[in-house]
Structure 1
Amino acid sequence: MTGHPIYFLWATPRSTSTAFEWMMRQRGDLICFHEPFGMAWYQGPEARAPRPAPSDRRRPEAMFEKIWHDIQQAAERRPVFVKDMPHHTDHLWNDAFLNRITHSFLIRDPAKVLASLHHSYLKAGMDDGFEAHEISFGPQEALFDLLRKRGEVPPVLDSDDLLEDPDTMVRTYCDAIGVPFIREALSWEPGARDDVLWYDGNDEIWHASLRDSDGLKPIPRKQVDSGDLPPNLAGYFETFMGHYSALHAHRLRPETVNG
């Protein structure tokens, strides 16, 4: 393998993944990419989304092959960290692609994902209609199973564990992927997050919590009752829970790495 490592965090929407990515950006030793294949999936000329971006928001440069080339070129200079969703890349899962990546996963209770999606769609003035594939629970499990069949068991970080004890879980994650833990990266100044805005003005709604935050700090674990979800979202819960539970069984705990 030539070049530096390429670390991928495979997430679902509304899984605290952008806050985690922001923390990785604070380290200063990684070139970071925010959902680069999502741009191609929604806005590129090869768009695969069920509802691609309208023509005035298309990006002709957002080609899957070019994006992958740019990531690999960046890794010639420094280690790379990429946060993306597995459904954006499931057509790329060949040996050359998978072998070049150090894989990890971030999962979240689907009741919390669905509740957060509903809240964000309401704030954005959008209807919360989507296809299950777009929320990536199924593709997460599919990619995890594929990697296991290839002899790799990538680390899985659960959002609840992360938020309850960021210091311990980020350290455990760093140990698992083989990078040094930098505690200072867990804090930052509140403000605009232009590096993670790539679709349209509604991104400010999706990332408002990150914009107003000043770091990853312990948050008491809370439960969301799936019975409180609106009917159009509640129907996804059981299916998503099956995918989530399959990965949750492999989640990182401090003793997983530190013995």
Structure 2
Amino acid sequence: MKSVTIAMWSGPRNISTAMMYSFGNRPDCFAWDEPFYAFALKNHGNDHPMRDEIIAHHESDWDRLVKACLAPPPDGKSVVYQKHMTHHMLKGFDRAWILPLTNAFLIRRPERVLASYTRKWADVSLRDIGFVEQAEIFDLVADHLGRAPAVIDADDVLADPRRTLGRLCAACAIPFDDHMLSWPKGPKSFDGVWAPHWYNAVWASTGFAKPENRPIELSPHLARIAEAAQPHYQRLRDHKLS
């Protein structure tokens, strides 16, 4: 099979780590956890849990990161899965490097993103959850392709992982693999150094959780952020695989 590098673009708390574990459990796949996290922390200057440790431990040079993201799969693998946070693509840095990759987009309802995010870190803004940047990157890729790239909704993944992941794999020109439906408990070799702060729930998992159906109550501040994010979410949702 011809090698494929999938760049999966999402914001935080979008089941993005579970998706990375799903792909990372494929024998043919090399998974990479948030390549530009240290870069974004160093250049944006915002505070985050484990900020200094992340910058010290991970590559933060834009040019070296871009070169690595565009490199062939290592270790004889045929698939690379890059878990990208959209808000790590800072203004002033050319995003055109992503266009040769197989770009896909993972979306989730803003209120669920915010409810999950604030359980881990109380300080949150619209920029922190990446909806605006996700729409910008989607437009960049769609303009390049002349069509919408693959979009999947977290709710669809949780409701029917086999069906949704099968459609995603088909859109990315790779075969579906049953290994994607489960993974072993605990940390993974490809986790970023930030995993102890953010990944405790997914470390306890062995597969995708059931969809959450309970209603969410947001503070007025968070409700305003959700309202601002909603049009960006809906625009991508209109193109989701079904």
TM-score band w.r.t. shorter chain: 0.7 to 0.9
Q: Residue 66 and residue 110 in structure 1: after superposition, are their counterparts in 2 closer, same or farther (change >3 A)?
A: same
Q: Residue 21 and residue 243 in structure 1: after superposition, are their counterparts in 2 closer, same or farther (change >3 A)?
A: same
Return 178-187 or 56-65, whichever deviates more. Answer: 56-65
Partner of 1:138: 132
Partner of 2:215: 224
Q: What secondary structure does 2:32 align onto?
A: strand
1:50 to 46, 49, 59: 46
Q: Residue 94 and residue 184 in structure 1: after superposition, are their counterparts in 2 closer, same or farther (change >3 A)?
A: closer
Where does structure 1 differ by over 6 angstroms across 4 or more consecutive aligned residues?
none
- Residue 34 in 1 paired to residue 25 in 2? no
- Residue 236 in 1 paired to residue 228 in 2? no
- Residue 197 in 1 paired to residue 189 in 2? no
Partner of 1:125: none
1:99: Cα distance to partner?
A: 2.5
The CA RMSD measured in Å over matched residues stands at: 2.3
Q: What secondary structure does 1:73 align onto?
A: coil
- Residue 175 in 1 paired to residue 173 in 2? no
Q: Residue 205 and residue 50 in structure 1: after superposition, are their counterparts in 2 closer, same or farther (change >3 A)?
A: closer
Q: What secondary structure does 2:123 align onto?
A: coil
Counterpart amino acid of 1:245?
Q
Partner of 1:124: none
1:245 to 203, 226, 234: 234
Q: What secondary structure does 1:113 align onto?
A: helix
Partner of 2:107: 107
**Uncovered stretches (5+) of structure 1, i.e. residues with no partner:** 122-127, 254-259
Partner of 1:257: none
Q: What secondary structure does 1:175 align onto?
A: helix
Partner of 2:153: 158
Structure ranking higher in helix proportion = 1
Counterpart amino acid of 2:207?
G
Contact 1:31 1:74 in 2 (8 A): no
1:110: Cα distance to partner?
A: 0.5
Name the CA distance, whole Å, in 2 between partners of 1:204 and 1:140: 26
Larger Rg: 1
Name the CA distance, whole Å, in 2 between partners of 1:93 and 1:153: 21
Name the CA distance, whole Å, in 2 between partners of 1:174 and 1:50: 35
Q: How do 1:4-43 and structure 2 match up within 5 A?
A: 4-42=3-41
- Residue 208 in 1 paired to residue 200 in 2? yes
TM, length-normalised to structure 2: 0.87
Name the CA distance, whole Å, in 1 between partners of 2:54 and 2:183: 31
Counterpart amino acid of 2:66?
W
1:33: Cα distance to partner?
A: 0.8
Q: Residue 239 and residue 67 in structure 1: after superposition, are their counterparts in 2 closer, same or farther (change >3 A)?
A: same
Contact 1:106 1:159 in 2 (8 A): yes
Name the CA distance, whole Å, in 1 between partners of 2:7 and 2:32: 10
Name the CA distance, whole Å, in 2 between partners of 1:241 and 1:117: 16
Counterpart amino acid of 1:65?
D
Contact 1:171 1:181 in 2 (8 A): yes
Contact 2:22 2:181 in 1 (8 A): yes
- Residue 147 in 1 paired to residue 141 in 2? yes
Q: What secondary structure does 1:195 align onto?
A: coil
- Residue 185 in 1 paired to residue 184 in 2? no
Return 98-107 or 82-91, whichever deviates more. Answer: 82-91
Cα deviation digits, residues 33-76 of structure 1 (max 9, x gap): 1001112111x4xx224337765653384211111212333437
